[in-house]
Amino acid sequence: MEDTTKKSLLFKEFPPVTTAEWEQRIMEDLKGADYEKNLVWKTREGVSVKPYYRKEDLAGLGYLDQNPESFPFVRGNRKSGNHWYIRQDMKVSDLKRANEKALDILMKGIDSLGFVLDEEKNYTKEDLDLLLKNIFAEMVEINFHCGKNAVSLMQSHYDMIQRYNRDFQKIHGSLGYDPLGNLVYRGKYYLSEERDFKTCAELIRISANLPHFAVITVHGNHFHNSGATIVQELAFAMLQGAEYLTRLTEQGLSASLVAPKMKFTFAIGSNYFMEMAKVRAARLLWAHIVKAYGISRDDIARMSLHAVTSRWNKSVYDPFVNLLRTTTEGMSAIIAGVDSLTLRPFNEFHEDPDDFSERIARNQQLLLKEESYLDKVADPAAGTYYIETLTDSIAAEAWKLFLEMDAQGGFSEAFKKGLIQGKISESAGKRDMDIASRKEVILGVNQYPNFTEKITKILREESLKPAELADPEAFAAPLKPYRGAMAFERLRYQTDRFALKNKRPAAFMFTFGSLGMRIARSQFSRNFFACAGFETIDNHGFSTVEEGIAAALESKAEIVVICSADEEYPVIAPQIFEGLKDHAIVVVAGYPKDHLDELRAKGIEHFIHVRSNVLEELEKFLGLAGVK
């Protein structure tokens, strides 16, 4: 018989600790410091994240007792396990070659194909026969990204499924028809507002016998990749979804028919737990929105959700870091229970992906599935105090924004008025400023760059500037997708191009005095200037100012950075400045506030420190160094 006495005694050694006791201990450790300022994280989404969470934080969350595959589907769409489709997208320019590639990658672990088609082309039955030759539609999820000719494409696909006598219940996939998405990126509808929504209705009628094939796609990733917050991406996607439901039910279609014909695509960024919570909150919000249209069955409110890794946070410099980013992003999406997932190749932001980068992107998902077993457990995040609270908080903030924009007449009207663009522009501007000042770090770009990395080939023009997708007939201001790293990368690329025909500008570290301070400030300064492609010359430390001046002059560096302690600057900085001012730009590392007036009075005007706007300072120094 099992001895329960020992267990009882063991647990008595660990009495429960109340929240009040935790708070008391925290206040003692803070020693009078402000609790909110030091321990509560304020996110850009308007969510306050506490330093710890306990069971009582879950009080009032009504969905916690629901199982997976149950309304409101916070816990996912599958009762057991966590299967997701591993999807790879490909641009289709040559139908035969696209078919050959599709058959090849299907043998390498992919079970979902995304064909990015020419939006202007009208694809015939013969075209589709060639594109999908030998692809068994009952075994593979087939997705199309198309444009204004969606009806003929859908009809051809449906006819092919009938011709080959496929089981309608086993056909999975989507048609990425999205007139509201076209409005977002191009500033106009495909044809016209009225015709596009009639097309949506026609697509639903054609595909009515295909219960698992969506014909309308809501692209939340459009907002994300233009600088939106998680809350904005979620709220505006829900607003689009609600508008499709309203417009199509007004045409006589039932919500029970329309809702399952919609798929949502969200971008997944690097904020690991917040992105998990976003996906879970999306299912919660959509379920309640659909329920409000008087659906007959709860399962109609289940969201079909595709995820794709973010473009916004990826880099051209140090691109292999993108592999780390997409791996954690993929984990966020999978643990949250997405239905399908695309991991972008690490190098697609500056060149066409090759076999190697596409293979790595596939294998990242295969590793997460086959070796990390992330497909075995449904909703592993369930019940975690932190993620459940985040889910509720994000859903609440997104709902507030949803209602605010809905009061303006819905998505189309709010977008035509520029209200949605204004919200996103404000958020993107704040985030750009955080990157410029290093409050937000993009590894290898604005912090810890690879000092030896140089780009010598000519990059595609669109790699380093926001996308200009506006239609000539646009009647609304479109969003411009971009990457947060672009501003820094343009500076560094400018230096790399300059260095092909000229001497690369250099920054010389004039290390002197206090060992700890000179090392710390030298490391800071080298990182600082390397972000713009400067060659950085470090030194172990000079025994005299004269020795350092001689070495600086010999280096012929355009910039000399004095790296020492604040209290030493009043003595050494003027001497160094006088010895080098006619030969180099002299910069002081740090912000010696007690000595600033004195140093400036002697001609020293350049200071770099942790509060600097790094981007602006580097632009200035490149100009002073003659880099054009």
* Superfamily of segment(s) 85-406: Methylmalonyl-CoA mutase (3.20.20.240)
pLDDT at residue 11 above 80?
Answer: no
> Which amino acid does the sequence have at 358?
E
Alpha-carbon gap, residue 183 to 410, rounded angstroms: 14
The pLDDT of residue 3: 56
pLDDT at residue 2 above 60?
Answer: no
> Which amino acid does the sequence have at 521?
R
Q: Reduced to 3 states, what is the DSSP secondary structure of residue 500?
A: coil
pLDDT at residue 4 above 60?
Answer: no
The pLDDT of residue 485: 98
The pLDDT of residue 16: 84
Residue indicated by tokens 């994300």: 224
Per-residue pLDDT tens over the stretch 110-159? 999 999 999 989 999 999 999 999 999 999 999 999 989 999 999 999 99
Alpha-carbon gap, residue 458 to 461, rounded angstroms: 9
**pLDDT above 90: percentage of residues in the chain:** 93
Per-residue pLDDT tens over the stretch 363-421? 999 999 999 999 999 999 999 999 999 999 999 999 999 999 999 999 999 999 999 99
Per-residue pLDDT tens over the stretch 270-303? 999 999 999 999 999 999 999 999 998 999 999 9
Per-residue pLDDT tens over the stretch 470-506? 999 999 999 999 999 999 999 999 999 999 999 999 9
Preceding omega of 345 cis (within 30 degrees of 0): no
Per-residue pLDDT tens over the stretch 429-441? 999 999 999 999 9
Domain ranges of the chain: 85-406, 502-624
Quote the tokens at residue 89: 């997208």
Per-residue pLDDT tens over the stretch 451-472? 999 999 999 989 999 999 999 9
The pLDDT of residue 6: 56
In this prediction, residue 14 has a pLDDT band, given cuts at 50, 70 and 90, of confident
Per-residue pLDDT tens over the stretch 191-217? 999 999 999 999 999 999 999 999 999
Please name the residue ranges forming H helices in 43-92.
Answer: none
**Order of strands across the sheet with 535-537?**
535-537, 506-511, 559-563, 585-589, 606-608
Residues 6+ positions from 287 with CB-CB distance below 8 Å: 71, 72, 73, 298, 301, 302, 303
> Which amino acid does the sequence have at 286?
W
The pLDDT of residue 461: 87
**Cβ pair 617, 625 in contact under 8 A:** no
502-624 belongs to which CATH class?
A: alpha beta
pLDDT at residue 9 above 90?
Answer: no
Predicted TM-score (pTM) above 0.75? yes
Alpha-carbon gap, residue 319 to 445, rounded angstroms: 10
Quote the tokens at residue 59: 């009080």
| Average pLDDT value for the chain | 95
Residues 6+ positions from 371 with CB-CB distance below 8 Å: none
**Cβ pair 334, 314 in contact under 8 A:** no
Mean pLDDT on 494-519: 97
**Cβ pair 222, 264 in contact under 8 A:** no
Q: Kindly report the number of other CB atoms within 10 A of residue 517's CB atom.
A: 19
Residues 6+ positions from 628 with CB-CB distance below 8 Å: 494, 498
pLDDT at residue 595 above 50?
Answer: yes
**Cβ pair 330, 310 in contact under 8 A:** no
